[in-house]
A = this chain, B = another copy of it.
Amino acid sequence: MPLVSDIRRPSRKDPVVRRIVSSWRRLTGGRGVRDEKRTTLVACSGGADSSALLLALSTVSARARIEAAHVLHDMRPRAEAMADAERTAEFCAQLGVVLHEGRVTVAELRGNTESNARRCRYAELARIARSARCGTVATGHHADDQLETVLMRMIRGAGARGMSGIHSRRALDGCMLIRPMLGVTHADAEALCWRCGWVWAEDRTNKDVSRLRAALRSRVLPAIREIEPRAALHAVRTARAVGSAHDAVAARASALESGADRDENTIFFSRNMLRNEEPAVLAELIFRLHHSKSGGGRRDRIGQHSLNACIGGISDQSGESRCYELGGLSVRVEATFVSFS
């Protein structure tokens, strides 16, 4: 008896398929690119979300090169992990999709297990994409993941950058990482699998589920979806709009930075010019300068309190000279200029 019963490829006209495929085309260069140039490696755990992504992309013309990668983790019993891998292999075989197998060992790494697993998994996907000559890695993150992410960040007090949520596209070790399913929900993904006769595996390792995220997922999100069934799709729109506002802030900070005077270790700005900038722009400028000073330090190394004090000092009307220390970055505020070193 085969592990997997017969799978029907979905119709190209299926509305969920159409939304996923058109998003995939938009994220891989838009109209100007032929499908066969959009070589894509789909991260497939065998769960409903990534399976739906593979099902949708399997409807694209045979000339397009869509391949899959399954990454084995050492975080659960080997037999269970192998069973999922085998079912995924048969799923791909039935769809006629080439499957690459990857492997990460995270159980013995120090630090946060979920974030180690995520980091290792993405590195492994990028490695497979390079060796398979795929320009793009696609993951099955969807609208409910986005709602969960922005909600989690909101109750942690994130700024506009954090509230832009899961990005639909970003660079990943020499290739491009895309999320073509942000415009569809988990229920859409399940329904698509169901229509194709695919009995998906419950996805237990392929997502990072912190305790906070798990608590929101089980106790808060079902109530929100019941109150507003389109909540997840709306949150995707919010995240995109806030992300665009953040990008405008980042562009302004970058323009300020490139217009500033420098000497060896110090960068100088006119105090009057900075005083007219929004706190969000000043915060972004400070993060950028901290980042280049510390050679890529994390944004959260600067405490919220010192950041606010420094921004307040730059913006106020006092002519007194003051100095703020922000995780290795010294900010001197003088009557007519502000210097960072």
Does A163 have its Cβ within 8 Å of any Cβ on chain B?
A: yes
Cβ A160 vs Cβ B224 within 8 A: no
**Contact pick for A245, options B219, B224, B245, CB 8 Å:** B245
A53 part of interface (Cβ distance < 8 Å): no
C-alpha gap A228/B157 in the complex (Å) = 11
Decide if A281 is an interface residue (CB 8 Å cutoff): yes
A85 interfacial contact with B, CB 8 Å: no
Known: A215-B227, A227-B215, A251-B278. A156 touches B245 (CB 8 A): no
Residue of chain B at shortest CB distance from A241 = B159
Which of the residues B155, B237, B277, B279 comes within 8 Å of A224, measured between beta carbons?
B155
In the assembled complex, the Cα of A223 lies from the Cα of B156 at a distance in Å of 15
A153 at interface (Cβ–Cβ under 8 A)? yes
Interchain CB contact under 8 A, A279 and B234 = no
Does A68 interact with chain B (Cβ within 8 Å)?
no
Contact with B along A211-243 (1 / 0, CB 8 A): 010011001100110011011011101100110
Q: What's the Cα separation between A224 and B249 when bound, in Å?
A: 30
Cβ–Cβ contact B280 & A238, under 8 A = no
Query: Given A154-B154, A160-B160, A245-B246, does the pair A227, B219 have CB atoms closer than 8 Å?
Result: yes
A156 & B248 in contact (Cβ 8 Å cutoff): no
Given A163-B163, A223-B219, residue A249 in contact with residue B238 (CB < 8 A): no
**Segment 144-161 of A: residues with Cβ below 8 Å from B:** 147, 150-151, 153-160
- A residues within 8 Å of B by Cβ? 32, 147, 150-151, 153-160, 162-163, 212, 215-216, 219-220, 223-224, 227-228, 230-231, 233-235, 237-238, 241-242, 244-249, 251-252, 277-281, 283, 304, 317
CB pairs A–B below 8 angstroms (12 shown): A154-B235, A157-B237, A157-B238, A158-B241, A159-B237, A212-B227, A241-B280, A245-B245, A245-B248, A245-B249, A245-B278, A248-B252
